[in-house]
Amino acid sequence: MADMMWAGRFSKKIDDTTNAFNSSIAFDARMYRHDIQGSIAHATMLGDCGIITKEDSLQIIDGLKGILSDIDNGSLELDPSAEDIHMFIEAELTKRLGDVGKRLHTSRSRNDQVAVDIRLYLRDEISEIRQLVYKLAVTLVQLAEKHKETIMPGYTHLQRAQPVTFAHHLMAYVFMFLRDIDRLDDTAKRMNYCPLGSGALAGTTYRTNRKQTAELLGFTAPMPNSLDGVSDRDFCVELNCALSLIMTHLSRFSEEIIMWCSWEFKFIELDDAFATGSSIMPQKKNPDITELIRGKTGRVNGDLITLLSMLKGLPLAYNKDMQEDKEAIFDAVDNVKLCVKTFIPMISTMKVLKENMRNAGARGFINATDCADYLVKKGMPFRDAYKITGTLVAECIEKGLTLETLPIEEYKKMTRLFDDDVYSAISLDTCVKERKSEGGPSPEAVQKQIDIAKNMLGL
Ligand code: ARG
C-alpha cells in the first residue's frame, strides 16, 4: 500500500483492518466525475488568482481530464485500499505530474471537497429522478384520459363508499407525483450553494475567489459561512424526505395494485412481463414488483432515519460520522430510481378490467348517499333522509337485493317522496355524472384535473 497522504505526522503505517474500516472508496468512488469537476474548478481559480502559476494550473487540469477519461474507459483501476475517492484521484495526479500535482490541494480540504462533490453528484441524480417521476406522471395522465367513464367504487376504511372513476383515482396519484417533482426542485434549489473554499472549517488565508468556483460549477452562490459549508448535510436529509414521499406514494399505489390483482378484486391484470409465477403453485401470477416497492419503501425511510440520527449529535464542524451520509442517501437514490423505472412500464401495460370495477360498484351500496340526496332534493332534511336510506339498505341486505333492484313499493313504504325517478337518480352513471363539484369524479370534473396536470407538466 502506498504511504498515506498524511504520513508526515505518523511514525507507523495504518493497520490494515483500520484502513479498511476507515476507507470510503468502496462507496464514494461513484462520485469520481464530480470530484474531478470540482478539482478542475478549484485549479482554475488557483491559477486565475495567482495562488499557483497558470502553467501549473493548466497542467493540473490536463492531468485531471486524463484521469477522468482513464477511469471512464476502464484503463485506470481504482485502488480499493485508498482512503477515499478524493485521496485516490489526488495521489494519481501526483503520480502522473509529480510536484505539480501536489499543488492542487492548496487552500482546500477534503471537508469542503467532499461537501461540494456530494452536492454535484446529487444534483445530477435529482435531475434524473425528476425526469423519471415526470414520465410516471405523464403515463398516468395518459391512462386517465382513457378511463374517464370507467366507474369503480371509491373506498374509505377499504369499504365501498361512493362511486368514482378509474381516471379520478389515477389523477389523485398524478397530483401526488406533481408535488413530489416540486419537492425535488425545491431541494435542488436549496442545495445549490457552493461550500468550496470553506477549507477544513475556517476558510483560508489565501486570496481565493469563491464566487468564481461557485459559478464554474453552476452553483447559485458560495455558501456564506465556512463552518456551515463543511458541517451540514441537511440537503441529504431533505432529499431523502422527498424520496421517502415518492416511495410512500408509490407504495400506497402498489398496495392497491396488489389488491386489485387478487381474485377478490380482479380490477386489473398485470402483463405477463411484469409479474412472476410460483415455484410450486402453477396457477399463481404474483405482483412481486409492487410488493418489492412496498418493501423498499421501508428501506428508503430507514435511510432517512440513518441520516437524521447521524447528524443530531455532531458538534461543528466536520466529524467522520458524516462519511456515513453517502451509503444512506445513495441507497435511497438508487432504490427510488429502480422502483420508478420498473413501475412505469408495469402500469402502462396492465389490463384494466372495467366490467369488474363496475360490478364491484354495483354491489356495494355506493349509491346510498345519492339515494339520501334524492330525498333531500325533494325537501327532506339530510339526517332524516340518511336514516330512511340506512333502513332501506338493511332491508336490501336482508333480502339479497340492491338499491337498484328493490321494488318501488318498498321505497314508498318509507316515504311518499320516493317515485320511479329514484332509479335513475341512483344509477351509477348518474351518481358519477352528477358529482361535478371541483375535484370530483364526473368526467368533466376529471377532464379539468387532467387539463391542470397537463399544464403543470408542460404538455
Ligand atoms: N471520506 C470522507 C467523507 O466522506 C472525506 C472527508 C474526510 N475528511 C477528514 N477530515 N477526514 O466524509
Task: State which ligand 1 atom lies nearest to the alpha carbon of 83.
Answer: 1
157 catalytically annotated: yes
Q: Where are the domains of the chain?
A: 7-106, 119-205+220-359, 362-457
Q: Mean pLDDT for each 10-residue chunk of the chain (459 residues)?
A: 73 90 97 98 98 98 98 97 97 98 98 98 98 98 98 96 97 98 98 98 98 98 98 98 98 98 96 85 86 98 98 97 98 98 97 96 90 96 97 96 95 96 94 96 98 98
| CB of 318 closer than 6 angstroms to any ligand 1 atom | yes
How high is the pLDDT of residue 413? 96
CATH 3.20.20.220 describes domain 7-106 = no
Q: What is the pTM of this model?
A: 0.94
| CB of 114 closer than 6 angstroms to any ligand 1 atom | yes
**Which residue among 19, 114, 117 has the greatest number of ligand 1 atoms within 8 angstroms of its CB, and so is best to mutate?**
114
**Which residue among 84, 105, 329 has the greatest number of ligand 1 atoms within 8 angstroms of its CB, and so is best to mutate?**
84
Say how many Å lie between the CA of residue 206 and the centre of ligand 1: 22
CATH 3.40.718.10 describes domain 362-457 = no
Say how many Å lie between the CA of residue 114 and the centre of ligand 1: 7
Task: State which ligand 1 atom lies nearest to the alpha carbon of 322.
Answer: 12
Rounded to an integer, what distance in angstroms lies between the CA atom of residue 96 and that of residue 400? Answer: 85
Say how many Å lie between the CA of residue 255 and the centre of ligand 1: 40
Say how many Å lie between the CA of residue 6 and the centre of ligand 1: 13
278 catalytically annotated: yes
How high is the pLDDT of residue 2? 52
For domain 119-205+220-359, give the fold.
Fumarase C; Chain A, domain 2 (1.20.200)
At which residue does the C-alpha cell 370495477 appear? 357
Say how many Å lie between the CA of residue 111 and the centre of ligand 1: 6
How high is the pLDDT of residue 270? 94
The residue annotated as part of the active site, out of 278, 279, 309, 427, is 278
| CB of 148 closer than 6 angstroms to any ligand 1 atom | no
Short-list 166, 88, 175, 80, CA closest to 137: 175
